[in-house]
Structure 1
């Protein structure tokens, strides 16, 4: 199982991992430590391009929100297993925050299926 540690950033999504072709990514744990002075909202995204088909020969990239979490100032949380159970990443897993803060740390564990 792999892990990725990132800090909350605004407007620019940070890559957590990219699923290999013909596999999906499975997030198994998310721990967030927000020691900043304000609450932070984090959006976990899946960015992927569907395969070409007869009806859509040149599909465009899709961004799907898989999870949104708000963490109070000075709090730490672990996203429970039931919340993560049905989340599958088809392309690149990314996270974006509502504000820049090096005091909001996100630790994500994942593997590929």
Structure 2
């Protein structure tokens, strides 16, 4: 059995930032409906998998080949889904700031 090791600040820094931000937002009662909320509603209504598609695409840094392989869909299917995501969310996926916001929203579990 390997010896127990304490985590250093560097080991958990990113996760601790997300937890702190999550705690700050826990009391937020603005009732904001964001792009992921719209996408989840669309998925429920249309029995689609656009939230999963977006998460996979973001997790693969926009790499169509890697994301389509992970999702087990053709590259053109992934491109079509990304187009639908853009239409449903009214988000420009080419915008780095928007991609960051979406990744953050996923990490916060919103």
Task: Verify same fold: TM over 0.5.
Answer: no
* TM-score of the pair, normalised by structure 2: 0.24
Larger fraction in helix:
2
Larger fraction in strand:
1
* TM-score of the pair, normalised by structure 1: 0.23
Bigger Rg over Cα = 2
Q: Which has the higher contact order (CA 8 A, sep 6+)?
A: 1
